Chains A and B, each alone.
Chain A
Amino acid sequence: MSDTYTLTMDDPIETSLLDTSAQGLIGKGLDRVDGPKKVSGQATYSAEYSFENGCYGFLVRAPFAVGRITKIDTQAAKALPGVIDVVTDFDRFIRNSAQGAVKSAPVQGVRDVAYFGEPVAIVVAEGYEQARDAASLVRIEHEAGSGNFDFAEAIADADIPPDGAAPATHDQGDLDKAMGDADATVDEVWTTPSQNSAAMEPHASVALWNDDGLTLYGSYQMPSFDRPSLADALGLETEQVRIITPYIGGGFGSKLGIAPESVAAAIASKQIGRPVKTVMTRQQVFDATVRRSNTRQRVRLAAGKDGKLTGIGHETHCSNLPDEVFFEPAGIATHFLYGGEHRRITHAIARLNRVLSGSMRAPGEAAGMLALECAMDELAERLGIDPVELRKINDCKRDPEKDIPYSSRSFTECLDEGAKRFGWDKRNRTPGKMREGEWLIGHGMSGSARGNQLQPSEARVVLRPDGSAIVETDMTDIGTGTYTILSQIAGELLGLPIDRVDVRLGDNRFPPGSGSGGSFGAGSSGSSVYLACEDIRRKLATAMDCEPSDLTLKDGEAIAANRRVSLSDIMSGEIEATGRIEPGDQGDEVRQAGHGAHFCAVRVNAVTGEVRIDRWTAVFAAGRILNEKTATSQCLGGVVFGIGAALTEELVHDPRNGKVVNRDLAEYHVPVHADVPHVDIRFLPERDTHANPLHAKGIGELGIAGAGAAVANAIANATGARVRDYPLTLDKLLDSLPPV
């Protein structure tokens, strides 16, 4: 064991070792190191782990929305061949998934059902289909309760939550007066629907017990939080639980916290004394994991003739189950993106008996900027100012609410570069008037911003005399490229080719990492690897009898003061170091965020209202880009999410019982390849000394922020009409199309 080398980000780090190191791995668009394993089927996902004597669990859902279970009749289910047991535990089964970054259990107890499809029991059988069949035979009797299913009605009784990722309420100056005094105003309401992450891999857990406790192979994004959360749910000590999750087939927030299948599989496995594998079906993922909340957002903008904002209001409602404190922070970017002296940003939760709402890719920005960035477009139109220009006019030097500087901000530069690359000067300037045959042509843009965060994260690095290294942390790679960027950072700082670095992730036996979420994974876990490597470099410098700053490491050799030696010559054995990053004062003293701009060209069919996107340009600045290829993929994925939000994605709840109506990928429409044009993504050079020693900011969610609004603005430009109810499906556009 070695001492942990800890850095708390209380002060900016002016010089990053990544700027002086010699291996040349950072920033390059290197292929994913785990790519070959994934495409050849050798990357093992949770559902693929099998153990001797293992069996299958299948969750049983409540076939009603609200009520108290009076009886569960398992006789018919148990009589089926292959069925081992039907396991119920009304006290310990979790009602819903845990939220992200929570170390305690979510709401437990399923006797009182809170939403349609809540998992209330688990059937265990020798075969998966036997378990599924038996689940359909479990009869659940209940006394019906009364629930809330109408969002509009529930808004009347909405409650103000405690502050979350964003303050629930911010009041500054007098917005009403600013609206009255303004030369131009916007005061409109936008609505966005519930959404589901629809990650390719469904939630899955394989639970097995031994003398030390529970091992759970589960698809979870934040193992260092999920471990204590699962332990709490089961009444265990944290150390009695080990989560293993080396590969995750997409998460997007839906796997931040433990989901119902994990606790059910663990309880069933304990009860029957065999490993239990429980994989949720696609329908169960829709019914009973987590959704992005639907929202209602009133945006008010007040501006002078010069376009300068004097007031900005963003009053938002979302929905969630009773007892849940998570709220969709739709105003999160509004706090810092634009100036304006008079401000009012609010959040309230309408209590509905629908499946849990929680974090889905860019919680806050993704939904909130669908409203804010369209409002800015409408304001530009009313003022007769170019939408790009209006945003530049309202760019800020200091955070308009906290009066603190930005850690780095290249918003105007992104707008200018994007406009140039896209050819914004050739856009359609008269809404509804550019037409090619049956198609109306429109151009739209939006700003993009996503707050940057740092989380505590720890990693152990072992350098071997043979010039190879091992990196271990329970950080995860949810498809984002963690394996690759951690290999790059360690290889860069230790002077090793990338294939000499072995990164091991997703196991609680390793030091606790930040987990993947909130775009903080790369910055946080990358910094912990950086610090461990920095510590190793110091030890090597001692061996070389030089200052660490005079040491160069490259291709397995150490170079200092005209001396060049192989690592094996100066290492008597392995060198191990543990690095740990902690957030500090830099989180409060500066405003940290990535910024960008989206531009797109769309066609709207004048007959049918079908929308096609022809091209897309997006420019971002997010500090140092660690790997241009994986960063581009992240932003591209974000744009695809934005296209879905704008055009197709809506998780529909039945108005009578809150039930998810469209429970499969045939009817929950994520964009397909044919919906996505070529997307031109560029990064501007930027370094953020306040963020972390890497000088990098988060990039996993920046791409979605504002993307959908660019589509909506382009549609308005094409048709000449504003639709403010997402998604903008063709039925909503028909009325604004010319007669046939």
Chain B
Amino acid sequence: MKTFDYSRADSPEAAVQGGAVGNTRFIAGGTNLLDLMKLQIETPERIVDISRLDLNEVEEGEDGGLRIGAMVPNADLAANPLVTARYPVLSRALLAGASGQLRNKASTGGNFLQRTRCYYFYDTAVPCNKREPGSGCPAKDGFNRIHAILGTSDDCIASHPSDMAVAMRALDAVLVTLKPDGDRRRISIHDLYRLPGDTPQIETVLEAGELITHVELPPPPVGKQSYRKVRDRASYAFALVSVAAIVAVDDGRITNASLAFGGIGPMPWREDAVEKALIGQVPGDAAFNAAADILLADAKGFGSNDFKIPLARRTLIAVLRELTGDAA
């Protein structure tokens, strides 16, 4: 680990002031950042501790939505009665992630910004365009079982590891941030992440020193909710494929569909066309397969992750069957 300066922020305003200076990272739960610092994948010169900021509330919004403080621990958010009652997909996604100990420490804001688990990203003895831009990508022709099949580029095929963010994407979450110049902005989760392209080291649209202070959820969408995670062991493993789904059926037809996917893309994945293909359809294998066809039209495997293409299809279909129940 590199030596670094440490300071604790007593207000969001102070945090962003400190965060704007050069090579600085915010630390909340530290469940990912500390690991990366020990391995010297992240080498910040300064750490601003935001873990004690007063951002721990989960409040009901006037519109019937939720406003979640960025420091709310994953475990608390998963157990929050408003979340379990109205956004069960979010609660289930949170509980599908990590372990009890990690969920106690990990923050809501930090969860969005987890770095990839790509094996090559994690080893400083080998090239990685995300870690060292321009050095190359050994994953493409190497072992890539956990890597993405959608949204990849020549420079990077890493997948995003979060479960929570997948549910957040299905729920159209909005991130509220504070910038060093004092401006607040609202960033739709749909705009938060960037595809790797030729700059895989830039993962989000957040600017230097910009701090996530809250996450807002719109009122609960109509329909049944589910989060299904497929992984290599029963707990404490990252998703190979996950599906966050909210689907409503009325009068024998699908009237609402919101579908986000984990484990298959460099960001929590969502594609409007998949949902459009379902809306108005009679639930059933024809409609479900058509949706999977659209989702996976551009899917590309790299060898050891080829199985994710059929796995994503099978999982999506099973989730749609589950949510459309007797109607299917």
Chain A residues engaging chain B, CB cutoff 8 angstroms: 61, 63, 81, 116-117, 129-130, 132-133, 136, 283, 438, 607-610, 612, 647-648, 652, 654-656, 659, 661-664, 666-667, 669, 671-675, 729-731, 734, 740
- The secondary-structure label for the interface of chain A is loop
Contacts of B123 in A (CB 8 A): 283, 659, 663
Determine whether the beta carbon of A652 is less than 8 Å from that of B318.
no
A to B CB contacts below 8 Å, 12 in the list? A136-B40, A283-B39, A608-B315, A608-B318, A656-B138, A661-B143, A666-B238, A669-B233, A672-B235, A675-B233, A730-B230, A730-B232
Cβ contact within 8 Å between B1 and A607: no
If the complex has contacts A667-B117, A731-B311, A734-B310, are A133 and B40 also in contact, measured as CB distance less than 8 A?
A: yes
Taking a contact as CB atoms under 8 Å apart, the answer to whether B311 and A671 are in contact is: no
Contact size class for B? 35 or more
Instruction: State in angstroms the CA–CA spacing of A675 and B235 once bound together.
Output: 8
Measured CA separation A649–B117 after assembly (Å): 17
Which residues of chain B in 116-168 are interfacial with respect to chain A, using CB atoms and an 8 Å cutoff?
Answer: 117, 119-120, 122-126, 138, 141-143, 145-146
B 235-246 binary contact with A (CB < 8 Å = 1; else 0): 111101100000
Measured CA separation A63–B123 after assembly (Å): 10
> C-beta contact mask, B13-44 vs A, less than 8 Å → 1, else 0?
00000000000000000000000001110000
Contact B117–A740 (Cβ < 8 Å): no
A350 CA / B307 CA spacing, docked (Å)? 30
B234 touches A (CB below 8 Å): yes
- Which residues of the other chain, B, contact A655 by a CB distance below 8 angstroms? 142-143
Contact yes or no, A608 B122, CB < 8 A: no
Contacts of A116 in B (CB 8 A): 125
Say yes or no: B235 contacts A673, CB within 8 Å. yes
Residues in chain B near residue A740, CB distance under 8 A:
313-314, 317-318
Q: Are B143 and A608 in contact (CB under 8 A)?
A: no
A656–B311 CB distance below 8 A: no
Q: How far does the alpha carbon of A730 sit from the alpha carbon of B231 in the complex, in Å?
A: 9
Near A by CB (< 8 A), chain B positions 200-235 give 230-235
Q: Indicate if the CB atoms of A132 and B1 lie closer than 8 Å.
A: yes
Q: In the complex, what residues of A have CB within 8 A of residue B232's CB?
A: 648, 669, 729-730
Determine which of B38, B234, B238 lies in contact with A672 in the assembled complex, contact meaning CB atoms within 8 Å. B234
B142 x A607 contact (CB < 8 A): no
A129 adjacent to B233 (CB under 8 Å) = no
A residues within 8 A CB of B315? 607-608
A63 in contact with B142 given A136-B40, A671-B233, A734-B311 (CB within 8 Å): no
Q: A661-B142, A663-B123, A672-B235 are in contact. Are A731 and B307 (CB under 8 A)?
A: yes
- Whether A669 lies near B237 (C-beta < 8 A) is yes
Nearest to A737 among chain B residues (CB) is B314
Shortest Cβ distance from residue B44 to the other chain A in the assembled complex, whole angstroms: 13
Residues of B bordering A, CB below 8 Å? 1-3, 38-40, 117, 119-120, 122-126, 138, 141-143, 145-146, 230-238, 240-241, 307, 310-311, 313-315, 317-318
CB distance from B106 to the nearest CB of A (A): 14
Given contacts A666-B237, A729-B232, 20 further A-B contacts (CB under 8 A): A61-B125, A63-B125, A129-B3, A133-B2, A283-B123, A607-B317, A607-B318, A608-B230, A608-B318, A648-B232, A648-B233, A652-B143, A661-B119, A664-B122, A666-B238, A667-B117, A731-B145, A731-B307, A734-B314, A740-B317
Q: Which residues of B contact A438 (CB under 8 A)?
A: 318
Closest Cβ of chain A: how far from B43's Cβ, in Å? 9
Considering only CB atoms, which chain B residue lies closest to A665 in the complex? B236
CB pair B1 A133 closer than 8 Å: yes
Please pick, from A608, A609, A612, the residue contacting B234 in the complex, using a CB distance under 8 A.
A612
- Cα–Cα distance between A705 and B240 once the two chains are bound (Å): 30
- Complex Cα distance A171/B33, Å? 57
Query: Which residue of the partner chain, among A609, A667, A734, contacts B119 with CB atoms under 8 Å?
Result: A667
* Residue numbers in B under 8 Å from A656 (CB-CB): 138, 141-142
**In the complex the two chains form, what is the Cα distance from A734 to B1 in whole Å?**
42
What chain A residues lie within 8 Å of B3 (beta carbons)? 81, 129-130, 133
CB distance from B239 to the nearest CB of A (A): 11
Lowest 5 CB-CB distances: which A-B pairs, in order? A674-B234, A731-B307, A63-B125, A674-B235, A607-B318
Give the Cβ gap from B174 to chain A, nearest Cβ, in Å.
30
| Interchain CA distance A659-B120 in the complex, whole Å | 11
Q: Inside 8 A of A61's CB, which chain B residues have their CB?
A: 125
**Nearest Cβ in chain B — how far from A648, in angstroms?**
5
Q: How far is the CA of A652 from the CA of B120 in the complex (A)?
A: 12
| Contact residues in B for A607 (Cβ distance below 8 Å) | 314-315, 317-318
Contact A610 B146 (CB under 8 A): no
A731 partner residues in chain B, CB cutoff 8 A: 145, 307, 311
Is A129 a contact of B119 with CB atoms below 8 Å?
Answer: no
How far apart sit A672 and B237, CA to CA, in the bound complex (Å)?
10
Collect the chain A residues with CB atoms within 8 Å of residue B231's CB: 610
Q: Give the residues in chain B near A136, CB-CB below 8 Å.
A: 40, 124
Contact of B233 among A81, A652, A672 (CB under 8 A): A672
Given A667-B146, A734-B311: A672 and B125 interface contact (C-beta under 8 Å): no
Q: Give the contacting residue for A654; candidates B122, B142, B145, B238; CB below 8 A.
A: B142
A contact residues around B307 at 8 Å (CB): 730-731, 734
**Considering the chains assembled together, what is the distance between the CA atoms of A41 and B240 in angstroms?**
38
- Given the interface pairs A608-B314, A669-B237, A740-B317, the reply to whether A663 lies near B122 with Cβ below 8 Å is yes
- Inside 8 A of B233's CB, which chain A residues have their CB? 647-648, 669, 671-672, 674-675
Which residues does chain A contribute within 8 Å of B124, judged by CB atoms?
A: 136
